[in-house]
Amino acid sequence: MSKLAAILLVLCVGSNARAEKPVWENEQVYHRNRLPARATFWPFASVEAARVGDREVSPLVKSLCGDWRFDWAPTPADAPADSWLNGFPSSSWARLPVPSSWQMHGYGTPIYKSSGYPFRIAPPRVTCEPPSTWTTFKDRNPVGSYWREFETPREWRGKRVFLHFAGVEGAFETWVNGDFVGYSEGSRSPAEFEVTSRLQTGANTIAVRVYRYSDGSYLEDQDMWRLSGIHREVLLVATPAARIADFTVRTDLDSHYRDAQLAIDIKLDADNPLDGWTIRADLFDTEGDAVLAESLQHKAEPILNLTSDAAVLVERTPQRGAGPFGWLHATVKAPRLWTAETPNLYRLVLSLVDDHGSVVQTTGCDVGFRKIESRDGRFLVNGKPIKLRGVNRHEHDPVTGHTLSLESMRRDIELMKRANINAVRTAHYPNDPRWYGLCDRLGMYVLNEADLETHGLRGKLANEPSWAPAFMDRVVRLVERDKNHPSVIGWSLGNESGWAPNFAACAAWTKATDPTRFVHYEGAQGEPDPAAVDVISRFYPRVRNAYLHPDLPQDPAAVERPENARWERLLDIADRRNDSRPILTSEYAHAMGNAVGNLPEYWQEIWSNDRLLGGFLWDWSDQGLLTRTVERKPYIGYGGAFDDEPNHGAFCLNGVVMADRSLTAKYEEVRRVYQPIAIEMVGAHRNEEGVRVALRVTNRRDHVGLDGLIPHWRLDVEGKSIAEGDLPPLSTPQRTTQPLVLTVPFDNTPGERWLRVSFRQPNATAWSPAHWEIAAAQFALPATEVRQVLGKTAEPLEVEETADSVRLKGPRFTARFDRHTATLVSLQYDGAEVLARPFTLQAYRAPTDNDRGFGSWLAKEWTDAGLDRLTVEPVSVAVQSRDVSQTTIATIVEAKTHGGAIRLVTTWRINGAGEIAAECRFQPTGRLPPLPRLGVVTSLVAGLDQLDWFGRGPWESYPDRQAACDIGRYQGVVCEQATPYPRPQETGSHEETRWAAVTDKDGKGLVVAATGDPFAFSALPYTAADLATAKRWVDLKPRAESVLSIDAAQCGLGNSSCGPGVLKRYAVLPVEHTLRFAIAPLSADEDPAVVARRERAAFNSQDQAP
């Protein structure tokens, strides 16, 4: 045998071997018959219809959404035989709505994986036998078979017809009238096929077979629920025989960022010559008026020839580049520019006109004039530096899975805009095409990401040449689909898949194809800052503040290794002089559970440095799925809720908002920290008119001044508003500072005085109601001194000591201290018991997701120390002093830990009126970790469930997440204080509380007032143990009593579920802490603020007496 023959034999054997693979287990086959990717646009019946741009009313687009016949099988071998493709399915087939995720309708199992694959890894195969406990052991590769009938409109005769799938999760094959149409992979990019020759008059059938897993699944290892099915729209699209196949719109601005250049590149598709035909472009403003003096026109034949596959190009010489971009060009004088703050749009209408002057086809798209640049380390839009106040967003709905309605998408953008979010990263795939139109119209910057993540294999596939075409296919489809959206300011090549030649090729193609946007990529492995991308990207970096757990590699030199890039601090990167690219935090502030600590510290650094472009919080909404318990109670489930194995538990619950878009304290914190107006108080002093307050207002918006916003002020005393008013509007230009001076009234009303200054929109907008608040800040003003306090008349106090207790009795109350527990166990007012459980030491909290996280391991340290199971032992009870109206009792308890102890020494002063002042000194000793909290806890009897407090609110707050919680007076109900995190954890605390009243519905109860520094408190129907042991919120059973916690200190939240932990300044170190508070009875006709003020003044004056 000759050498050549041997080589050919090997090639034939290899080819046959490849042919034996199923198409869905062959990385080199990612489509068959699929048309080239194109921009999102639709045909219309007239120029006017194209100008309006409502696809829903176009007679040339037919939706195939609705009920389809459906069959589910656990493996391809179990799927129905092919006879149904050319006939009718079995009557046993169910009906399934399209679009949908089939798991949300009871077929198969939703699987939540953060990273790693739900099948055994053996690329490109997906059906190798996994462990027997895995879901895929039985359901090896589920197949969904879809079928429906349809008719094409009579008016479509003689037209070409295209079958358009906006998104199919999995790999799929499709047939029309039994004829094979095509195959496609890539779950979140459109697949389009021409079906003209396969259609027949009257009824037609379409069949689709979806494979849950394919070789493409190796490129879709994103942190999300693994679902399946036709999850986006299915459409039929009719065009003339000669058609506009695609077009690209580019805009540019002159050096003054005033006049614009419009360039349009067009691809035509026709089987016959187009001699005498023209392509025409018209531009309209929002009022429908023509912008250009005359239509742009170009002969169609040259365009067709240069875009035809069969075209033979005659090259001119000499050749330098490819010449100017586009076939149609225009200068647009002083257009209204597009930014996220000013989403000004124009409407471009393209018409294909035949040689008789008749319009054969018309289509169009929205156009936003804007220019993107990077200069001197800054990222510019229309010549102005911007900051991306961003969030990552998965497409997720707790009921419909990965299928979203247009209304829900709009609601997301409205909520984001109201929270001062101006940018979204489409983590980690192209979103529904309709999302981008909303971003264009409402104003949202988009970092658009390819459907490309191989997290479970790191960079292995990015180094494999056989996978390179599949990598490129996904990036090309991203860019080609969304290239005309002004909201898209950057392309992200994918996520967490290493850096290797396949990505280098994708970056090169993207930059050559679209030089008007920046290219981003965060590989999470290998070279962190490849030269092929335009920004330095980091996940979960640190600020320069000291962390409780630094978690840096032991070897200082290791910090500079590429794989340790995540340990870097933002400002350290910005200080480097060897790379001047902008720096983007592509993920940070991991919002899992009760989280988003120290967000202000991040933004203090971002605002301070021009190179810091901003960041994208992780992430927008919890990815929980609605399910039911065995008792049919609804709840939000996370990984494992569906017996899915393997799974990553609650790691899908990372949202700033809940899965159903309920708002949280995290949302409010983001809204306040992201606000684009900084308000600072420079000084305040008394004058004859009141208090003169000098403020400094900085407009941090990128493109607009403060014109049109209404400044508003409000003066609160002890949490109640006593005066407010509007101020004249400011004309502060973007990125400048202006002084603001106002005078507020001052009177002798006693108490703390707080000034709140805000900026509001006067009118409703496309995303907000009228009077929506854009920014706010609060400042403490000088308080009125209380020179005389009229306390209660001294009442007699009886003290009875026994071997078991110390009992105190006044005219309206009794109290009892138990010597066996060394604590206050009973407190009665007017004969009614207040305490359901005694006061006791509390040093534990239900771990938050961050406490469990890999960035801190605090929860493990706490359990290792035994803080979750403390046994509080009595040391002593002693009556230190007594007289006819007041007695002082000292109690000491101690809780042993592994390696240490916490002693609580409390001095109680009780008077005949039933007022009790407590000074608690917490004394940790020995080897103890940083503590969850230090405080006391009790339970109040059932019926005491109404709250009124003066402190931070109304949302829960913690030491490092309280920017949005102003000091004020708030009311609530105990049963509504907890945030229902799907995995229960610490919740409901309120920082810097001056006093808190807990009463019945008539207003009778007690008030707890700080007599020293303000305390943190919570009142919940759950104990810390209840929250710590429950796995699901639905499992919690509210107690009848109210669990009242009063803390000297509680640990901050941090971000360590995936990122840096708690800053040291927000930690509770094991050193002595002191808590001082007073308890007083509250009758129905008393104002708790007055009682609290009296208690603070009375007991403080006793402390200061000689």
- Token couple for 111: 């699987």
Average pLDDT of the chain is 93
Average pLDDT over residues 470-494: 99
Percent of the chain with pLDDT over 90: 88
Catalytic residue among 587, 601, 645, 668: 587
| Residue 100: closest CA among 13, 229, 195 | 229
Spell out the CATH class of 835-1104.
mainly beta
Instruction: Measure the CA–CA gap between 542 and 1059, rounded to whole angstroms.
Output: 8
With cut-offs at 50, 70 and 90, classify the pLDDT of residue 631: very high
Question: Does the active-site annotation cover 496?
Answer: yes
Average pLDDT over residues 641-668: 98
With cut-offs at 50, 70 and 90, classify the pLDDT of residue 565: low
Give the pLDDT confidence of 1065-1103 residue by residue, as tens digits: 999 999 999 999 999 999 999 999 999 999 888 776 555
Please tell me the predicted confidence (pLDDT) of residue 786.
54
Give the pLDDT confidence of 672-730 residue by residue, as tens digits: 999 999 999 999 999 889 999 999 999 999 999 999 999 999 999 999 999 999 999 99
Instruction: Measure the CA–CA gap between 196 and 593, rounded to whole angstroms.
Output: 52
Give the pLDDT confidence of 765-785 residue by residue, as tens digits: 999 999 999 999 999 998 876
Secondary structure E strands in 287-416: 296-299, 328-332, 346-353, 359-367, 372-375, 378-381, 384-385, 388-392
| Residue 507: closest CA among 497, 521, 495 | 521
Q: What is the CATH number of domain 383-621+656-672?
A: 3.20.20.80
Name the DSSP letter for residue 189: S
C-alpha dihedral over 298, 300, 304, 307, to 10 degrees? 20
Instruction: Measure the CA–CA gap between 116 and 645, rounded to whole angstroms.
Output: 12
Instruction: Measure the CA–CA gap between 579 and 1038, rounded to whole angstroms.
Output: 56
pLDDT at residue 1060 tops 50? yes
Average pLDDT over residues 112-125: 97
Catalytic residue among 169, 496, 919, 1095: 496
Instruction: Measure the CA–CA gap between 1009 and 1017, rounded to whole angstroms.
Output: 11
With cut-offs at 50, 70 and 90, classify the pLDDT of residue 1: very low
Q: What is the CATH number of domain 25-239?
A: 2.60.120.260
Give the pLDDT confidence of 990-1045 residue by residue, as tens digits: 999 999 999 999 999 999 999 999 999 999 999 999 999 999 999 999 999 999 99
Please tell me the predicted confidence (pLDDT) of residue 20.
72
Give the pLDDT confidence of 336-370 residue by residue, as tens digits: 999 999 999 999 999 999 999 999 999 999 999 99
CA–centroid distance for 455 within its chain: 21
- Neighbouring CB atoms inside 10 A of 334's CB total 9
With cut-offs at 50, 70 and 90, classify the pLDDT of residue 553: low
Instruction: Measure the CA–CA gap between 469 and 28, rounded to whole angstroms.
Output: 7
| Residue 719: closest CA among 778, 804, 766 | 778
Sheet (strand 1015-1020) strand order = 835-842, 933-940, 1042-1050, 1015-1020, 990-993
Parallel, antiparallel or unpaired: strands 625-628 and 690-699: unpaired
Question: Does the active-site annotation cover 587?
Answer: yes
Give the residue extent of every domain in the chain: 25-239, 243-307+324-372, 383-621+656-672, 676-784, 835-1104
Instruction: Please tell me if the domain spanning 25-239 has the same topology as the one spanning 243-307+324-372.
Output: no
User: Do residues 680 and 730 make contact, with C-beta atoms less than 8 angstroms apart?
Assistant: no
- Neighbouring CB atoms inside 10 A of 876's CB total 11
Instruction: Measure the CA–CA gap between 743 and 741, rounded to whole angstroms.
Output: 7
Spell out the CATH class of 243-307+324-372.
mainly beta
Percent of the chain with pLDDT over 70: 93
Q: What is the CA radius of gyration of the chain?
A: 34
With cut-offs at 50, 70 and 90, classify the pLDDT of residue 5: very low
Average pLDDT over residues 416-439: 98
Please tell me the predicted confidence (pLDDT) of residue 551.
61
Average pLDDT over residues 930-944: 98
DSSP string of 82-132, one letter each residue: GGGGGS---TT-EEEEES--GGGGTSS--EEESSS-SS--BTTB--S---T
DSSP string of 677-712, one letter each residue: EEEEEEEEEEETTEEEEEEEEEE--SS--STT-EEE
Please tell me the predicted confidence (pLDDT) of residue 324.
73
Please tell me the predicted confidence (pLDDT) of residue 572.
94
CA distances from 731 to 15, 672, 703, 708, 735 (A): 71, 22, 13, 8, 12
Topology, domain 676-784? Immunoglobulin-like (2.60.40)
